[in-house]
Amino acid sequence: MNAPQKQDGFQVVGTRPVRPDGVDKVTGKALYGTDFKAPGMLQGAVLRSPHPHARIRAIDTRKAEALPGVKAVVTGRDFPSLQSLIMAVGESASDIVHVARNCLALDKVLYEGHAVAAVAATSPEIAREAAALIEVDYEVLPHVLGLEEALADDAPLLHDDVFTKGVSPRPDKPSNASMRVEMGKGDVDAALAGAAVVVSGRYTMEPVHQGYIEPHACVASWNADGQAQIWCSSQGHFAIRSLTASTLGIPQADIRVTPLEIGGGFGGKTTVYLEPVAMLLSRKAGRPVRLAMSREDVFRASGPAPGAVIDVRIGADADGMLVAAEVDFKYHSGAYPAITAHSGVSSAVGHYRIANTRLIGWEVLCNRPATKAYRAPGAPQVNFAVESAIDEIAGKLGMDPLELRLKNAVAPGDPQTSGVPFGMIGWIECLEAARAHPHWSAPLGPNQGRGVAGGYWGNYGGPSTASVSLGEDGSVLVTTGSPDIGGSRAAMAIMAAEVLEVPYEKVRCTIADTASIGFSMVTGGSRVTFATGKAVVDAANMVKDTLRERAARMWGVAAADVEWRDGAAHCTGGDKAGESMAIGTIAARAIFAGGPVSAEAAINAAGWLPGFGVHICDTEVDAETGQVRVVRYTAIQDVGRAIHPDYVEGQMQGGAVQGIGWALNETYIYNAQGKLDNPGFLDYRMPVASDVPMIDTVMVEVPNPDHPFGVKGVGEVPIVPPLAAVANAVARATGVRMHDLPLSPDRVYAALHPEG
Amino acid sequence: MTATAYHAPETIEQAVALLAGNPSARPLSGGTDLIVQMRSGRIAPAAVIDLKRIAGLSGVRRVGDGFAIGAATPCTALKDHAELAAAWPGVVEAANLIGSVQVRNRATMAGNLCNASPAADSVPALVAANATCLIAGPDGQREVPVAAIPQAPGRTSLAPGEFLVEIRLPARGVGDGDAYLRSIPRTEMDIAVVGAGANLTVDAEGRCTAARIALGAVAPTVVLVADAGAALVGSRFDDAAFAALAEAVKAACHPIDDKRGTIAYRKAMAAVLARRVVLTALKRAGAAA
Ligand SMILES: Cc1cc2nc3c(=O)[nH]c(=O)nc-3n(C[C@H](O)[C@H](O)[C@H](O)COP(=O)(O)OP(=O)(O)OC[C@H]3O[C@@H](n4cnc5c(N)ncnc54)[C@H](O)[C@@H]3O)c2cc1C
C-alpha cells in the first residue's frame, strides 16, 4: 500500500491509529442486531408470499393465534390508514404508504418474499410454526420481471395509481414506468452525424445485492402509554425513527431508537423492513419483540441495486475529442417507485467535456423486491456502458485509453451535467497518477489483457449533530448520531484530537440514540467524515474557545492573552505570561468555574465535492473454459485528504472488490415462475478471498477547501469504475467485447465459441 | 414441532441398532450437509446418529498395500497422511477441494458420497480409483464399489439400518497416477459445474495400459465413462486418443440446464476437464514409473 505523504501541519490527521471499536469487534463483544436482548422479549417470524404477483383475497390467522405460545399476529390491516407522503432519507426517497406496504402487504403482494403477516411467540420455533399456519387466499396474477417486458402495452400493471413522473403532459393511464428523467444540451444528432467515429451498443445486467454480512434485525418495545423503544442495526437510526413514526402515525419523540453495531449496509440499511412490524407485534403482545431476517429473506425481500438495459451512442472527432453522447437507460425499481435514475443520468458522462448530450433514464416497476441504494446508487450501471464505449472509441482511433480520457476530462470550473460548475475536483490528477503508475506500463503475460476505467460520484453533506464534552480529567468525549460502518469513530476522534491538540487515545467516540443527540442524516452518500466531521470540528473548536476563556478567567487575563497549543492553554500577556495550564487541569477546575465544558454543533454541511477514481485491471482469460481471473488491480482515487488512510484504502479496496464481483459473477437469477433461484451465497456468487488479488491503492489528495481538513467523501466512488475496468480488460485479453454482465465463465465461453 | 434426538454410539452394533430402530434417523459424520439441510427445513430427522465416537471410524489405516479410510475421517486428515497423499493424490486433492478449510476440518468423503449429490467432488475421484466401501447393517457387513452407492440425487442404495464404515483404496504400483479437476465460477467455496477424475496406469514405454475416467455433475449420478478409458488404453496419449476421449466424454454427459450451467457449457467443460485431468494424472504416473 502507499503511505501518504507527510501531512504538513497536522499532528493526528493522516495517521493510522487502531480503531476505538476494534477490540470489541474482533473479540465478539460488540452488540450487533441479533445480539440485543430485552427482558420478556418475544421472537417474531414473518410469513412471506410464495407468488411474485397476487391479490390477497383474505388472510385467516385463527389457527396461528390458537397455537400455544403465540402472543400476537399482525397483517397489513394493523397499519393505520396513511396518506401519501414522500420522505427522503439519505440516498433515496420513498412514499411512506409504499414503505408501509413493503413492510406488510395490504391488497396485493408484488414479489416473491413480500411480507404478508407476522407472528410473535415465546420461541422462534413456535413463531415459525404459527406463521406457517396462517392461511392466505391468493388470486395469482400474471407477473413481469424484465425491463422491456414491464414497459410493454399488455404488461401486468403493478400499481394502478402510479403515473409516469417526468413526462408532460401528465399521462392519463397508469404505467409500470414510474419515472423518466432527461438532461442534456446541444444537438446530439448533428454532432454524431459529423463525428469521425461513433460507437454504439446495448449493455445489460440483472439486479445485484449489497451482500452485507449481517441480516436485518431489530427489537421493538411499544408501551401502552404510547412510548416506544427500538434497538436495531441500521445506517441511520434517525431514519428508522422517522420512517417508523410516519408509517405508524405516531410522534417521533415517542420512539427512541438505539443503534446497535452494523455488520455492513452499503446503502441497503437506509430503510425499514422489520421495525414497524415489530412495533405492531409488541403493542399487541405487550412485550418486546425481536424480528430478524434469514439470509434467504435478505435476498428475497430486501432491496438490491437495480439491473439495467443501457443504450449508448458516443462520437468523437479524429483527434479523440468527444463530440456527442446519447445514453438511454432503464433501471429496475422493483415493487415500488425508486429514484436511482436521477443519479444515473447526472453521473453518466459528467466526467467528460462533451458539448452535445442526451441523457435519459427510466425507472421501471416489476415483480421484484423494491430496489435500494447500493454504494453510488445508479452510477456503476451506466458507467459500465459509457466507459466500455469510451474504450471502444480508443480502440477505433488507435489511442491510448488513458490519453483519450485525459484529453476529455473535466477540470475545476467545467460545468457538471446539471450546469453547476465543478469545484476543486481531482480527476485529471487521478488520470495522471494512473499513467505514471508502474502497473500501467508493466508487461502482460499470455492470455492477459489490461483494462482501465474512470468514474465519479457526487457525494453529499447535509444535516448532522455532534457534541464534544470533557471529563473532569480532561479526557474528551465525542458524541454523534452517525452509525460507524467504515471506521468513522476513528476519523471523528482524529479530527477532535487534531483541533484540541491532544493525543488520539484521549478522545473516545460514542454513537448516541435518537433521544440523546440531535438529528443526523443516515450514514450514506459518503457524507459522514465530511458532514458529521465538520460538526465534530465545530464542536471541538467551541470547546477549545471555552477552555481558553476559562483559563483566562482563572489567570485573570483577557481571553485574547491565552493561546491554545499542545493540549494546553498558554498565557501570552499580563502578569501570568509564560504560564500554561493543561487541558486536565482546566477541566477539573472548570466545573466549578463556569460549569462543565461541553459544546454541540448542529449543522447542515455544505461544500461537499465529488470524488473521482481511475481503476486499472489485468485479467487472464482461459479461452477453453471462459474463466476470468483478475491478476492485478490498482485503484486510484482523489480522496480530498485521508483523515485515517487505512480506512480510506479499505473503502477503495472494498468498493473495487464489490465491483469485481458485480462484473464477474454476481447476479439475481429468477426462474420462469418469478421465484428467486439463488437466495444464498452459494449461488449468489460474491468474490471469495482467493478470487481477487491484492487491491493496490493510490490516494491522490486534492483537498476540499470547504472542509477544515480537506475531506471529500470516499466510500462510494470506488464501486463506479470496476465494472468497465474488468470488462475492458476482458475485451483486450480476448478481442471480444461483452455487453452483458456478469462475465461468468459460461457466458465468456459462449462469446469466445460462437459456434457452440 | 418435533425435537431431534442426538445419539453418539461407541460401537458399530449400537449404531446399527439405533439406525434400524428409527426409519427417519440419519447418520452424522461431519454434518456439513446434514446440519445445513436440517436448518433449512429440507429434512427433519427424528434422530441423528453421530458416528465420530465409534472406534476405528476416524483415521487412515494401511490394509495390505492398500488403505482403509474410516467413514468419519475429515478431509483435512487425508492430506496430512503422507503415504495416502503420495499413493492417491487425485483422491486426496478431490476431498480437499470441498468447501473451505473450516468445512474440510469436519467434512468427510463418506458424507460426500452418502449425501448423493451429483456434484460431490470426491466421488468421481473415488470411482476412478476403483474404491470400495465397507457397509455395516442389521445383516452384518458387506463391501460394494463406491459407484454402487448413489442412485439418484439425494438417494443411496443403503438399506434401512445400514451405514458406511470405511472407504477402501487399492494398492498402487509403478506407473499409476490419478487426478481430479473441477470447473467452478469462483476459485473456492463453490459447487462443481463439472468434475472429472482420472486414474491411469502407464507402462515403461509411455503406453496407457489402464484408464478409468469418471465425471461428476453431468448426470443424476457419477458417471464412469468406459469408452473414455478405452479411448486411452493402448495409446501413447496422442492427439487421436485425446480426440476420442473428448467424444466419449461428451457422449456420456446427460447434464441439465440450471442456474449453475447450461447443457452445452457442461458438455464442453467435461471434454476440456477430461483432457486436462488425464494430463495431470499422466504426469504423476510418469513420475511414479
Ligand atoms: C460451505 C460449504 C461448502 C461446501 N463445498 C463443497 C464442495 O466444494 N464440494 C462438495 O462436494 N461438497 C461441498 N459441500 C458439501 C459437504 O461439505 C460435503 O458433501 C461433505 O463431504 C459432506 O460430508 P460430511 O461428513 O459433513 O457429511 P454429513 O453432513 O455428516 O452427512 C451427509 C449425508 O450423508 C449421510 N452420512 C454421513 N455419514 C454417513 C455414513 N458413514 N454412512 C451413511 N450415511 C452417512 C448423512 O446422514 C447425510 O445424509 C459444502 C458444504 C458447505 C456447508
A109-144 confidence digits (pLDDT tens): 999 999 999 999 999 999 999 999 999 999 999 999
Mean pLDDT for back-to-back runs of 10 residues, chain A (756 residues): 54 96 95 97 98 98 98 98 88 90 98 98 97 98 98 97 95 97 98 98 98 98 97 97 97 98 96 98 98 97 97 98 98 96 97 98 98 97 98 98 98 97 98 98 98 98 98 97 96 98 97 98 96 98 97 94 97 93 95 93 98 98 98 98 97 98 98 96 95 98 97 98 98 98 97 90
Q: Are residues B64 and B39 in the same domain?
A: no
* Domain encompassing residue A425: 414-453+610-752
Contacts B183 to A, Cβ<8 Å: 625, 627, 745
Here the CATH number for the domain that contains residue B39 is 3.30.43.10
| B177 pLDDT higher than 60 | yes
- Supply the range of the domain harboring residue B119: 60-169
Percent of chain A with pLDDT over 90: 96
How far is A683 from chain B, CA to nearest CA, in Å?
8
**Does residue A113 belong to any structural domain of this protein?**
no
Q: Are residues A503 and A566 in the same domain?
A: yes
**Based on the structure, what is the number of domains in chain B?**
3
What is the CA angle B108-B112-B116, rounded to 5? 155
Inside any domain, residue A743: yes
Is B243 within a domain?
yes
The amino acid that residue B159 corresponds to is: A
Give the mean model confidence (pLDDT) for residues B255-275: 93
Last-in-domain residue among A570, A605, A640: A605
Half-sphere exposure in the Cβ direction for A371 (13 Å, CA): 28
- If asked whether residues A574 and A677 sit together in one domain, one would say no
Q: Which domain-ending residue is among A560, A583, A605?
A: A605
Evaluate whether residue B93 is within a structural domain. yes
Check if the beta carbon of residue A632 is closer than 8 Å to that of residue A613. no
Mean pLDDT across the stretch B151-171?
97
Does B55 reside within a domain? no
- How many whole angstroms separate alpha carbon A126 and alpha carbon A521? 38
- The residues in A 614-673 lying below 8 A from B, measured between CB atoms, are 624-627, 629, 664-665, 669
- Residue A578, classified by CB atoms within 10 Å of its CB into exposed (0-12), middle (13-18) or buried (19+), is exposed
Are residue B137 and residue B184 in the same domain, yes or no? no
Any domain includes B205: yes
B184 and B136 assigned to the same domain: no
Query: For position B3, what pLDDT does the model report?
Result: 80
- For residues A747 and A730, what is the distance between their CA atoms, to the nearest angstrom? 12
Tell me the whole-structure pTM to 2 decimals. Answer: 0.96
- Is there a single domain that holds both residue A434 and residue A535? no
Phi, psi values for residue A725, rounded to 5°: -60, -45
For residue B258, the distance in angstroms to the closest alpha carbon of chain A comes to 10
Residues in a beta bridge with B27 = B49
In a domain, B201, yes or no: yes
Whether residue A465 is found in the same domain as residue A584? yes
> How many whole angstroms separate alpha carbon B289 and alpha carbon B287?
6
Q: Are A447 and A629 in contact (CB under 8 A)?
A: no
In a domain, A8, yes or no: no
Catalogue the long-range contacts made by B6-14 (C-beta closer than 8 Å, 24 or more residues apart).
B6/B47, B6/B48, B6/B50, B7/B47, B7/B48, B7/B49, B7/B50, B8/B49, B8/B50, B8/B52, B8/B53, B9/B49, B9/B50, B9/B51, B9/B53, B9/B54, B10/B53, B10/B54, B10/B55, B11/B54, B11/B55, B12/B54, B12/B136, B12/B165
Q: Are A508 and A478 in contact (CB under 8 A)?
A: yes
Say whether both B219 and B121 belong to one domain: no
Same domain, yes or no: A475 and A537: yes
* Interaxial angle between packed helices A583-590 and A533-555, expressed in degrees from 0 to 180 and rounded to the nearest 10: 80
Instruction: Identify the DSSP state of A93.
Output: E
- C-alpha B229/C-alpha B213 separation (Å) is 6
Residues A466 and A580 occupy one common structural domain = yes
* Contact call for residues A36 and A260 (beta carbons, < 8 A): yes
- The whole-angstrom separation of Cα A203 and Cα A311 is 6
Whether residues B41 and B80 fall in one domain: no
Q: pLDDT at residue B2 above 70?
A: no
pLDDT at position A527 is 97
- Assess whether A601 and A698 both reside in one domain: no
Contact residues, chain B, for A756 at CB < 8 Å? 264
Joined grid coordinates for residue A608: 461537499
Q: Is residue B207 part of a domain?
A: yes
Q: Which helix (H) or strand (E) holds A256?
A: strand A255-259
Mind listing the pLDDT tens digit for each residue in A386-443?
999 999 999 999 999 999 999 999 999 999 999 999 999 999 999 999 999 999 999 9
CA of residue A661 to ligand 1 center, whole Å = 27
The pairing of beta strand A627-638 with beta strand A695-700: parallel
Confidence label for B289 from pLDDT (cuts 50, 70 and 90): low
For residue B73, what is its C-alpha cell? 475421517
Nearest CA in chain B to A296: B40
Subunit contact B1:A125, Cβ cutoff 8 A: yes
CATH of the domain at A589: 3.30.365.10
pLDDT value, residue A2: 38
- pLDDT score, position A7: 53
- Per the prediction, chain A carries an average pLDDT of 96
Does residue A670 sit within a domain? yes
- Shared domain check, B240 and B188: yes
Q: The dihedral of CA A614, A620, A624, A627: what is its sign?
A: negative
Single out the residue in B110, B142, B169 at which a domain terminates.
B169
If asked whether residues B81 and B161 sit together in one domain, one would say yes
Give yes or no: residues B82 and B149 share one domain. Answer: yes
Q: Are residues B153 and B190 in the same domain?
A: no
Q: Give the CATH number for residue B86.
A: 3.30.465.10
Sheet holding B47-50, edge to edge: B5-7, B47-50, B26-28
List pLDDT tens digits, range B66-100. Answer: 999 999 999 999 999 999 999 999 999 999 999 99
| Alpha carbon distance A686, A696 (integer Å) | 20
Query: How close is the Cα of A676 to the center of ligand 1, in Å?
Result: 25
Q: How far is the CA of A96 from the CAs of A102, A397, A425, A710, B102, in angstroms?
A: 10, 51, 36, 37, 44
One domain, residues B148 and B239:
no
DSSP class of residue A288?
-
Q: In A180-294, where does DSSP find H-type helix?
A: 188-193, 237-248, 275-285
Residues with Cβ within 8 Å of residue B167, at least 6 apart in sequence:
B68, B69, B71, B109, B110, B113, B126, B131, B132, B133, B134, B146
* A104 burial type by CB count under 10 A (0-12 exposed, 13-18 middle, 19+ buried): buried
Is A717 domain-assigned?
yes
Q: Give domain status of residue B145, yes or no.
A: yes
Q: Tell me how far apart the 2 most distant CA atoms of chain A are, in Å.
A: 94
Domain boundary among B140, B169, B198: B169
In a domain, A658, yes or no: yes
Is residue A233 within 8 Å of A293, Cβ to Cβ? no
Helix (H), strand (E) at residue A605: strand A598-605
| Shared domain check, A684 and A639 | yes
CATH number for the domain including B274?
3.30.390.50
Protein residues whose CB sits closer than 6 Å to any atom of ligand 1: B 26-34, 36, 51, 71, 97-99, 103, 106-108, 110-112, 114-115, 120-121, 158, 163-164, 189, 191
If one counts the domains in chain A, the total is: 2
Residue A355 lies in a domain: no
> CA torsion sign, A618 to A622 to A625 to A629?
negative
A598 and A710, same domain (yes or no): no
Interchain CB contact of A685 with B (< 8 Å): yes
Distance CA B252, CA B230 (A): 13
The verdict on whether omega for the bond into residue A421 sits within 30 degrees of 0, i.e. cis, is no
Find the closest chain B residue to A668 by CA distance. B259
Q: Are residues A649 and A550 in the same domain?
A: no
Domain match, B124 and B23 both: no
Is residue A716 among the annotated active site residues?
Answer: yes
Average pLDDT over residues B232-243: 97
Residue that is last in its domain, among A605, A630, A662: A605
- Beta bridge pairs of residue A58: A137
SS3 category, A665: coil
Residue B130 pLDDT > 60, yes or no? yes
Tell whether omega for the bond before A742 is within 30 degrees of 0, i.e. cis: yes
On whether both A717 and A730 belong to a single domain, the answer is yes
Residues in B touching A663 (Cβ below 8 Å): none
Residues A476 and A427 in one domain: no
Same domain, B148 and B212: no
A478: how many CB neighbours lie within 10 A of its CB?
Answer: 25
Residue nearest to atom 3 of ligand 1 (CA): B99
